[in-house]
Each structure stands twice: as C-alpha cells, then as structure tokens.
A and B are shown apart, each in its own frame.
Chain A
Amino acid sequence: MIEFQSVSKQYSADALALSEVSLNIGKGELVYLAGPSGAGKSTLMKMVAAIERPSSGRVIVNGQDLGKLGKAGVPFLRRNLGLIFQHQRLLNDRNILANVMLPLIVTGAPKAQAAERARAALDKVGLLERAKAHPMELSGGEQQRVAIARAIVNRPQIILADEPTANLDRAAADRVIGALHAFHAAGVTCVISSHDEQILDSAARVIRLEQGRLVAGGAA
C-alpha cells in the first residue's frame, strides 16, 4: 500500500531529512513511526501525502508512483488519505461539525449528506453532543478526536497521524490511540508517528528512524 524505494530528501546542503529510506507498509497494517525529533518522521509522512517530494528515490502509494503524479492529481490522492496533525489544524471560525464536513465539501458532496456523515464520524469519536461547539471550546484531547473524525469522514484507505498524542495527557492520549486502533480494526491502514515509548511498547510494528536513516522495522 505504501512503498518507499531508496528515498532521500535534502532540504539544503546541510539539511538531509531522509537518507536512502526503503520500506513497505501493507494494506490494513498499523505501523508506528518512532524516532527523536528531527529523525525524519514528519518528512516521511508528508511524502506519502505528496506535501513534500523526494530528492531521489520513489514513493508509491496505492500502486501510484507519486513522482509521476501531476499537480492536478494531488488533491485526489489526498482524498484517499486521512491526515491528522500534531496541532490538529482545526478552523476556529466554524463549529466542529463544519470542520468535520470540510473534507466532504471539498469533494462536492451535498451539504446534507456531508453533515450526516460528519455527525456519524463525530459519534465514532464520542463527540456528537459537542457538534455545535467551536474548537476553542474543546480540550486538547477533544480537539484531537475532532481531527480524527475529520480524517475518517471521507472513509480513507490510509490514516496518517503525525504525533497525535504529543500534547495530550495520558488519558486523552489513550482515547486518541484507542480511536485510531478502532479504525485500524475496521480495515484502515494506519501510520502513526510517536515518541511515546508507552504507546510504542504495545505496537506490533515500529519503524525507527534516526537522523533521516531507517534503523529498524522497514520490511513488512
């Protein structure tokens, strides 16, 4: 489902983010990306979503070589991905229902259908009763669950979660990870970056990066 073939990313002469990384993530897998800050976890995730392009090597997602993906094809790739960011990136000028509806609205889905599916997604993360609240009215953990609802509302094949528990207390982090595991159980491929060792200890597969190099877990 996700394949990296000798992928390197160099931002500048002295900033090598990824070096010759090769890995394979199969369909329906739950994979953790681990490593200290600056290891290249976020860069790797950005490459899967075509936010960054490799300096060399190939990135293949769903059988599609992203090097051959034109600018016009990028939005359609992202519609099959559920992106979760460390800082949620929810829009504060609208309520959480509208935030969760956004991935459907951009595809041209009817508003009523988008609202219905957004409510269902919020229900899955236990926040349906807060649908009319604005992001600023929610706790960090709740905001992250809204971000998860937004990521899954399009029924993506892959969820990419970049440090989703970084700013959360243990209980909130556990709820977020629990929600992601539930989607994995439903057949969604999940790639989660984290340096929370407690979470990583229970993971079936951990891909470890250090200074842009793959040090463990590259093969499925």
Chain B
Amino acid sequence: MNIWFRQHRFAFGAALATIRKAPGSFLFNVLVVAVALALPFAGLTLLDNVRPLSEQLSVDPEISLFMKPGVPREDAQALAPQLRQLLAGSRAKISFVPREEALDSLKTRSGIADVIETLGDNPLPDSYVMKLEGFTTSAARADAARVDLLADHMRQLPGVESVQVDSAWVKRLAALLGVLRLALLLLAATLGVVVIAVVFNTIRLQVLTQKEEIAVSKLLGATDNFIHRPFYYTGALLGLCAGAVALGAVALALRPLNTAIAEFARLYASEFQLAALPPLGVAGLLAISAGLGLVGALLSVQRHLARLK
C-alpha cells in the first residue's frame, strides 16, 4: 500500500514537473479545453435555473364539451353528475355554459355583435367548461395523456357533439424542454469529444518529448503502470484546470447577464436571477472535466506507448 501510494505521489509530482517545464503550453491547452467546456456548462447552468421555474408553472388544462344542437336543456344539465364522476380523481372546476350566455359572451368579446344579430337564431350549443387544477410541467407528459383519456370518455356520453382539449401547449412545453435537454446533451457529447481530442494530442506530444526517459525507465525495471501514471495525472489535471476555468467564466458571465435579466424580469414583476451552480453541481462538473482529461490521456498513452514498444 505504501509503495502504491508513493508511486502515485511520484507520478503526480512528475506530472506537475512536466507542467512546470512548459507552463505556457499547458495554459494554452487549458484555455482551449475550457472554451469547449464553457458552452455546455453555461447551458447546464441555464437549464438548472429554468428547471425549478418551469416546474412551478401552472399548466392547468381546460376541457370544453359541446352538446349536439337540439339537445334539451334538461338533458344537457343532466350530464353534470356524470362529468363529476369522470373527473372524480382530479381537482376540477365544472361550469355549465348555456347557449344564451355563450352568445352574449361572443357578442361582448368578439366585436362582431352586428354580424351575430343578423343570424337571427342562436347557432351556439349548450356547453361545459372544465378546468383541471394541480397540473405542473414536471409531469406534463403524463398529465396530458390523462387529460386526453378523460376527453375520450366524455365523447362517449349521450348528446355530446365534440370535446376540445386545451392541453396542447402543455405538450409543447414538455417537448421543448425535452428538445433543449437533448440538444444540451448532444452539445456536451460533441464538445466532450473535442476535449478528449485536445488532451489526446497534448499527451501524444508529451510521450514523444519523453521518449528517451520512457525507454530508459523501462530498461531500468519500470512497469507499464509506472510509465503511464504521470500522463494520466497530466490529462486529469488539464481537464480539472480547464473545468475550473470554464466554471469561473460562466460565473463571471452571469453578472452582466443578470443585470439584463433584472430589467426584463421587472416588467413581469419578477425577481428572477440566474444563479451559479450549487457546490455539488460544481464538484460534479469538475469531476467530469477531470474524467474527460483522464480518458484522453488513457487513449493517447495506450496508442502511443504501444507504438514506442
């Protein structure tokens, strides 16, 4: 265990020594990797800020049920208990809208009262408007499916002409968030490959620079692990430093962004502000950055040291 620890300490020291020998080159590579990491980190920060906000959004869907023309008022009103039974599992507000009230409302709101007057007879049917409560975007997909199912049941009721569901926007919002998440994932994966490629090339150059040291060490009894470890540490350190720089850049960018957002949010009486990621998120992203660097180093070392043999 002591030897294992000592060898890791030596490898870490060797990696630091290599970095100290060419700090400019290391810094340049850190900046290149940081630029690649900054984009997905910024996207993640944005999603992390928007997610709780969108989860709290009320997306209560509305179902409108229209009776067939000519259905007697008593029959239309008799439908109310059945609708209540159908909506028993949901918090719902059911309103019966008589055709006369609907016509009055149309006249008032549409501004086409004169045109409606010329119709003579009221063409509108009796209807019900049902507002379902307690729906959130976090469960939007499941809720939308439930609302669609309720509408299907309502269409089977006697005297019902049509049922309209106003939950399409819930689906759209859920789909939009899904697309954003997927886009971010693809962006992160693409830029992850860029990070691995940069580290791969950096380590390749180091292997070539240290070719003689590697050869001599092997002749003196160094194991493959002993040879590989400093490169792994260099790759991980490069990823870690780049991750820290990228997170720092994103945190800095939040200040001017928040100034602009504050102006905008004030118009909606909101105090919404973008916040930096929580410590656990930061630690996770740093670990991922170091991991990407390690993967790049692993691939490079496996490929180029095998060639040296």
Contacts and interface: CB of A to CB of B under 8 A. Distances in A.
B219 A51 contact: yes
A106 B217 contact: yes
A89 B222 contact: no
Contact of A102 (B3, B7, B216): B216
Contact of B226 (A49, A106, A111, A150): A106
B3 A75 contact: no
Nearest to B216: A89
B212 A75 contact: no
Contacts of B218: 75, 78
Contacts of B4: 108
Nearest to B9: A111
Given A75-B221, A103-B221, A108 B216 contact: no
Contact of A110 (B6, B212, B213, B220): B6
Given A89-B212, A91-B212, A91-B213, A103 B3 contact: no
B10 interface: yes
Given A75-B223, A91-B212, A102 B6 contact: no
Contacts of B219: 49, 51, 78, 83, 89
B221 A107 contact: yes
Interface string B277-299: 00000000000000000000000
Interface string A60-102: 0000000000001001111100010000010101000000001
Range class of the B interface residue count: 10 to 19
A105 interface: yes
A78 B220 contact: yes
B7 A83 contact: no
Contacts of A75: 218, 221-223
Contacts of A102: 216-217, 220
B1 to A, nearest CB: 11
A83 B6 contact: no
Most buried by A among B216, B220, B222: B220
B266 to A, nearest CB: 61
Contact of A108 (B3, B212, B213, B215): B3
Contacts of B215: 89
Most buried by A among B212, B219, B221, B222: B221
A108 B221 contact: no
- Please give me the 5 A-B residue pairs with the lowest Cβ-Cβ distance, nearest first: A108-B3, A79-B221, A106-B222, A78-B221, A103-B220
Interface of A: 49, 51, 72, 75-79, 83, 89, 91, 93, 102-103, 105-108, 110-111, 150, 154
25 contacts: A49-B219, A51-B219, A72-B223, A75-B218, A75-B223, A77-B221, A79-B220, A79-B221, A89-B219, A91-B213, A91-B216, A93-B213, A102-B217, A102-B220, A103-B220, A103-B221, A105-B10, A106-B217, A106-B221, A106-B222, A107-B221, A108-B3, A108-B4, A108-B6, A108-B7
